[in-house]
Each structure stands twice: as C-alpha cells, then as structure tokens.
Amino acid sequence: MDQEAAGRAQDARSVPVCYRHPDRETGIRCTRCERPICPECMVSASVGFQCPECVRTGAGTGRPPAASRPRTVAGGTLTADPRLVTKILIGINLLVYLLQLALGDDFTNRFVLVGHAPFSAYGPLEGVADGQYYRLVTAMFLHGGYVHILFNMLSLWWIGGPLEAALGRARYLALYFTSGLAGSALTYMIAAPNQPSLGASGAIFGLFGATAVLMRRLNYDMRPIIALLVINLIFTFGFSGIAWQAHIGGLVAGVACGYAMVHAPRRRRALVQYGTCALVLAVVVLLTLVRTAQLT
C-alpha cells in the first residue's frame, strides 16, 4: 500500500502545476527559485522567466527602473487584473447586441459588413465600397443571434483571458483588432458584395492562432488547442451561412502577430511586435482598396 501511494504521488509530481494557480499545468519554472509558473505568472528576465515573488524580492525597495519592472512573457506590463481588456470587450459586445435587440434590423444594417448592396428593394447602394469603411470595425461587435454571441463570448473568455495575461493589455488589444480587421478585409475581398457578415469570430480565431504559437513557445501540449481549432474549422466549413473568410483571415493574422509577440528579440521587441501588426494592417488596407476599385 505504501508503494502504491508513493507511486501515485510520483505520478502527480510528474505533471508540475503553477505554484500560484494549482489548476494550471505548466512546463516552465522560475530561473531563480525553480517554482513552476504559468503564463499569467511569468515575468520576463534577462535569462528565462521569473516568478512574481522573486521579481519583488530582487527589485528592492522603491520604484524599479523601467528595464527591470515586471513584464509578461511578451514584454507587457503586469497588472492587477490581467483579464480587464477581455472583460471590457465582452461587455462592449453584449451592449451592442442589446442595442441590436432594442433597435432592430435598421441598427444592424447600418453597421454590418457588406460590400456593395441595397438593404431594400428601392434603397440606395450601401457598403464598404461606398465609403462606409467603418463597417470593417463595427461588424466585429455585431451578432446574429443568442447562440452566435454565446459561443463567441465563451470563446473570448476562455481563450482571451489567459492570452491577455501572457501578452499584456496593449499587445493583446493590438492582436485582437488586427485579427478582426484581417478577417473583415478577407471577407470583403472574397465574399459576394451583397453578402452581409457580422461577428467577433475573426478576432477570436486570431486569438486561437496566437494561443497555439504561445503554447508551442512554452513547450505546452499542443493537442488540446489543435483539437479545438480543428473542431472550429469543421464548423466553419461544414455549415452554410458562416463567413469562413473572416475565420481564416483572423487565424492567419493571429498566427503572424502572435509569432512576433512571443519570438521578438528582446532589444527590438516592441518594434518587431507592433511593426508586424502594422504590416498586417497594411495588407488589410491594400485588400480593401483593391476590392473597392473592383466594385466601383
């Protein structure tokens, strides 16, 4: 019995968990105290990562210089609430959906992504091709029903929260909007000009892609995120009425920006990270201008 108990204890120890979050398995340890730490607790150091306690102990009293302040794995600033931006994004999506329910189709038609089409039999042509470029952004906060917004907001909470903690607020927000705009631009470029599109799925697929890159960077088990991506892609291409262009555009942008976020060299970290986001946005602008020229 003692040997069996010892064996179970050894098996339990073979899968380390974060010392601050016992429900999170991790393969990363603090380079100073060797305690297991999850992405939310990782503080970028000159070599590897440190836990918050070691950073505070080594910083001494007073305000540390900017170069030694606690940072996330991507170089962002550690905050008291690492999921604040995710909460705000969920709140905005829910508020906009309530406006959709209260104001009806007129409100949705005014902000949905459409290339070039009338919304009534004798109405004027409207859409991005008619100069309504704001639709590329506003469509990211509209949803087509209870199930649509429920699944998107659950995905945003499950995937976005940990990713925000790992990247930091500014980088996370840049990733979110870059991915969402990439999804909108690809939809505008490929989909029929009279096909409306709406939803946060493009941005959320970008978060999926960046999460996969982060997990590989941290040597995590990739099977869960790959399985989740495969399931979502099956739904994307297996059912009609889903704007697969937004999903693919967001995913590609998320992988590109996510790779830059977690692999950028320390000395030029911000330049590489935000520069990559800027390049993706440049592609978004190019696709938008080309498609507008085609439609007009």
Residue 1 predicted with pLDDT over 60: no
Q: Which of 92-101, 218-227, 272-281 has the lowest mean pLDDT?
A: 218-227
What pLDDT was estimated at residue 296?
83
**Is the pLDDT higher at 223 or at 258?**
258
Say which range, 84-88, 145-149, 276-280, has the weakest mean pLDDT.
Answer: 145-149
More confident residue, 27 or 92: 92
User: Which two three-digit tokens encode residue 93?
Assistant: 């999506």
Q: What pLDDT is attached to residue 36?
A: 84
pTM confidence score: 0.77
Question: 165 with 82: CB under 8 angstroms?
Answer: yes
64 burial via Cβ count (<10 Å: 0-12, 13-18, 19+):
middle
Euclidean distance between CA atoms 260 and 271, whole angstroms: 10
Contact 112, 197 (CB under 8 A): yes
pLDDT score, position 20: 85
pLDDT-based confidence at 64, cuts 50/70/90?
Answer: very low
The catalytic residue among 44, 116, 179, 247 is 247
Homologous superfamily (CATH) for 84-295: Rhomboid-like (1.20.1540.10)
Given the residues 148, 201, 240, 263, the one annotated as active site: 201
Separation between Cα atoms, residue 64 and residue 83, nearest integer Å: 24
pLDDT at 61: 40
| Catalytic residue check, 263 | no
pLDDT tens digits for range 164-197: 988 999 999 999 999 999 999 999 999 988 899 9
Residue with tokens 């709140």: 91
Interaxial angle between packed helices 223-238 and 201-217, expressed in degrees from 0 to 180 and rounded to the nearest 10: 160
Q: How confident is the model at residue 12, as a pLDDT? A: 45
Both tokens assigned to 101: 């329910």
Decide if pLDDT at 41 tops 70. yes
Tell me: pLDDT of 40 over 80: no
Residue 152 has pLDDT above 50, yes or no: yes
pLDDT at 257: 95
Residue intervals in the chain for CATH 1.20.1540.10:
84-295
Contact present, 137 and 169 (Cβ < 8 Å): no
Res 67 pLDDT > 70 = no
Asked whether residue 44 carries a pLDDT value surpassing 80, the answer given is no
